[in-house]
Amino acid sequence: MIKASASRDEASQKLQSFYALSELQAKAILEMQLQRLTGLEKEKILAELAEVQALITRLSAILSSEKLLLDVIKDELREVKTLFADPRRTEIQGEASDLSDEDLIAEEDMVVTFSHQGYVKRNPVSLYRAQRRGGRGKAGAGTTDEDFIEQIFVASTHAYVLIFTSKGRVFWLKVHELPQAGRAARGKAIVNLVPLGQEEKIAALLPVKELHAPKKEKDKDEEEVAEAADDAAAGEEAGGDGEEVEESEATRVAAKAVQVAAGPYILFVTQNGLIKRTKLQAFARPRPSGLKALSIEDDDELVSVMHAKGDEDVIIGTRSGMAIRFDQKEVRAMGRAAFGVKGITLEAGDHVVGAELARAGATLFTMTENGYGKRTSLEEYRLTHRGGKGIIDIKTGDRNGNVVAVLQVTDADQVMIITNKGTLIRSRAADISIIGRNTQGVRVMALSQDGEKVVGATRTPEEREAEAAAAVAAEQAGNEDDDGSPPVGEE
């Protein structure tokens, strides 16, 4: 049949039609060599056929029996174990836990700035290059002609920022949640980060590393400290309002140590002269919607918020030029919902314009609406009991006008003063005279426009603090400036 065919294709077609073969089978026959037609080759083909039939029978039996299938799987796994088994190199310890966004953020120090018009931003400390004395500095933040940096601090990206409003509410933000902008950028309006109500404004920003107080070794010790603090506060409240404090230095030191052990605290001072002290741990449960930091009357508003250790004296200044200084232990620790107690007794038409925690070596700067001001040593403000009318801080009248700001400054600080016409002046605190308490002060700012009045003043230490933070970072990185020059004194 093959020999009689005219072509290969014809032979394939004849084989397929005569023997009912497939195209592949016909092709295999046509390609077979003549030597495969011998008896020996025939036996090999039959043997291969028998092997294939046996394999088909075995595989069919495995597929039809679940027991045989499982036995085959076991045998194959044992073979894999024998060929490839080796000791485990990884070790599983502990329990798996979910990661938060904060766990993925590197912890580093940030310089946070807050402007007078409510713009906030953060930048790495490393962005502020440390310079030698006499350097020209760098732009720390972009502002408009009527805006300026009002508050600056250095905090970790994992630290909290407590945002207190004039209506007594508090909001929490982590430093890494604040917008990061360029060194000369203005930042982002804080009203876009926290929901403020009508006529509600930011009173203060406080950076806090931890909201929980450090754990005591024994609960009994903590209770004894709290009881001692309450007893000390109650004893002082029994004293006459505004009377000068007479107690030994040893007694004062011991009482302050008790307060520090029970702290830290947040101190609040309102426009109507109320003061409240709350333990920091009372703010340990943040809420995105904020919560009440203190109860406040409709005709009152929060003026000052301070982070206190517990051993500082409080100084409160008023619009009519009065001031009072007392130990904060006279203000017992209260809950968040409390209104507070009387810090200073105000005359009709008077209100609080500022409050500070006394620091050693600082002076009290008082600014009036007609551009006059002065600095006075803190030693001239005698220690009295809270609730009194206070003593004269500066003489007010036609020349000076009313007091608009009371600040605690040092010679290294600068003071920013703003008027109702939008005029700004920045003065070094060291250029303002240190004079007595019951005086009229000196000219600090000349008012050239009709009806122009000073409406506010604030301490502006941003360049000094940012450069100091940068110097610390540079020292930790290798004690050299970012331009490769050696530290000062080692040239």
The 3 state secondary structure assigned to 150-200 is: EEEEEEECCCEEEEEECCCEEEEEEHHHCCECCCCCCCEEHHHCCCCCCCC
Amino acid (1-letter code) at residue 345: T
CB atoms within 10 A of CB 436: 10
pLDDT at residue 373 tops 90: yes
Which of 280, 255, 261 shows the shortest CA–CA distance to 218? Answer: 261
- Confidence at residue 220, expressed as pLDDT on a 0 to 100 scale: 43
Res. 241 pLDDT band, cuts 50 70 90: low
CA nearest neighbour of 123 among 163, 168, 82, 154: 154
Is residue 372 over pLDDT 80?
A: yes
AA identity, residue 126: S
Cβ 441 vs Cβ 368: under 8 Å = yes
Specify whether the CB–CB gap between 306 and 260 falls below 8 A.
Answer: no
Is the pLDDT at 229 greater than 50? The verdict is no
Q: What percent of the chain has pLDDT over 70?
A: 77
Vertex 209, ends 205 and 212: CA angle to 5°?
Answer: 105
Residue 292 has pLDDT above 90, yes or no: no
Rounded distance, CA 60 to CA 428, Å?
98
Residue 15 predicted with pLDDT over 50: yes
Q: What is the pLDDT of residue 94?
A: 65
Please, which pLDDT band fits residue 249 given cuts at 50, 70 and 90?
A: low
Whole-number CA gyration radius for the chain:
41
pTM for the full predicted model: 0.64
Higher pLDDT, 352 or 264: 352
Q: Is 183 a residue whose pLDDT tops 90?
A: no
Q: How confident is the model at residue 84 (pLDDT cuts 50, 70, 90)?
A: confident
Using the structure block, give the residue that is written with the tokens 């962005």.
127
Q: What sign results for the dihedral spanned by CA atoms 480, 485, 486, 488?
A: negative
Degrees to nearest 5, angle at CA 246 with 376 and 261: 85
pLDDT number for residue 252: 65
With cut-offs at 50, 70 and 90, classify the pLDDT of residue 405.
very high
- 415-434 in b/e form (b: 16+ CB < 10 A) is bbbbbeeebeeebebeebee
C-alpha 321/C-alpha 331 separation (Å) is: 23
Question: In the prediction, which pLDDT does 207 show?
Answer: 86
Query: Which of 111-120, 187-196, 347-356 has maximum average pLDDT?
Result: 347-356
Pick the range with the lowest mean pLDDT from 60-74, 172-186, 321-335, 428-442: 172-186
- Residues of the chain above pLDDT 90, percent: 26
Number of helices followed by number of strands (H, E) in the chain: 7, 23
CA 410-411-412 angle, 5° bins = 90
Contact yes or no for 326/264 (Cβ under 8 A): no
Average pLDDT over residues 127-148: 50
* Integer Cα distance of 464 and 177 in angstroms: 25
Residue type, 39: G
Half-sphere exposure at residue 373, Cβ-oriented, CA atoms within 13 angstroms: 32
Enumerate the β-bridge partners of residue 459: 415
State yes or no: pLDDT of 213 exceeds 70. Answer: no
Cα–Cα distance, 153 to 120 (Å, whole number): 12
Q: Do the Cβ atoms of 170 and 163 come closer than 8 Å?
A: yes
CB-based contact 381:406 (threshold 8 Å): no
User: When comparing pLDDT for 316 and 244, which is higher?
Assistant: 316
Are 363 and 432 contacting, i.e. CB atoms less than 8 angstroms apart? no
CA atoms within 13 A on the CB side of 423: 14
Structure tokens at 463: 């360049």
Tokens for 461, please give them: 């230490």
Cα first-last separation, the chain: 107
Residue 79's pLDDT band (cuts 50, 70, 90)? very high
Quick one: average pLDDT of 157-163?
88
Mean per-residue pLDDT over the chain, rounded: 79
Strand partners, 305: 268
Q: Is the pLDDT of residue 3 over 80?
A: no
Given a cut of 70, whether residue 80 has pLDDT beyond it is yes
